[in-house]
């Protein structure tokens, strides 16, 4: 094994670092370190689990409404028979080794920004003064 692979093997034990390594194998070590640092920042919770690393796995489904709804963050009206995005998320707290899900699906308009990491989800909630309710799963 060469020095490059030895360094990557040492980093590979962490799920966030593993994600970066898999998607950037072949790039120089300094770039990989920078990308890992950026990815850590995106996955550090500030609100729900302050200071802890949380991986967010969103489930996004385009749905046609059967009744009138309002989007979760913008409170825009979703008319009957209109398309909207139904958003569920699995959250894995790496520091505690626990899993959580949203208690209720979030609703988004088509074209509205959708959170893909814990940092984005928390920022949306804080900006719109909304609470995110979660429950622990096994």
> In the chain, where are the structural domains located?
3-42, 54-137
Closest CA to 15 of 6, 27, 23: 23
Residue range 66-85: mean pLDDT, rounded: 96
What is the pLDDT, as a whole number, of residue 126?
Answer: 95
Q: Distance between CA atoms of 20 and 33, rounded to whole angstroms?
A: 9
Over residues 47-68, mean pLDDT: 96
What would the mean pLDDT of 107-126 be, rounded to a whole number?
95
pLDDT averaged over every residue in the chain? 94
Q: Where are the alpha helices (DSSP H) in the chain?
A: 3-11, 15-24, 29-42, 118-127
Report the distance separating Cα 130 and Cα 43, nearest Å. 20
pTM: 0.84
DSSP readout, 38-61?
Answer: HHHHHTB-SSSSTT-BEEEEEEEE
30-41 pLDDT, tens per residue?
Answer: 999 999 999 999
Q: For residues 100 and 135, is the Cβ–Cβ distance under 8 A?
A: yes
pLDDT at 64: 97
Tell me: pLDDT of 1 over 90.
no
Q: How confident is the model at residue 11 (pLDDT cuts 50, 70, 90)?
A: confident
Q: 86 and 63 in contact (C-beta within 8 Å)?
A: yes
Mean pLDDT of 114-125: 96
């Amino acid at each position: 094994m060469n020095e490059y692979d030895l360094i990557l093997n040492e980093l590979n034990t962490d799920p966030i670092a593993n994600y970066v390594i898999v998607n950037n194998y072949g790039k120089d070590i300094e770039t990989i370190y920078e990308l890992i640092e950026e990815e850590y920042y995106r996955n550090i919770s500030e609100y729900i689990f302050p200071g802890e690393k949380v991986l967010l796995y969103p489930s996004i489904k385009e749905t046609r409404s059967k009744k009138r709804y309002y989007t979760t963050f913008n409170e825009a009206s979703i008319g009957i028979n209109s398309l909207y995005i139904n958003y569920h998320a699995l959250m894995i707290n790496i520091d505690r080794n626990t899993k959580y899900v949203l208690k209720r699906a979030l609703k988004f308009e088509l074209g509205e920004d959708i959170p893909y990491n814990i940092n984005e989800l928390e920022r949306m909630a804080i900006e719109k003064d909304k609470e995110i309710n979660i429950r622990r799963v096994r």
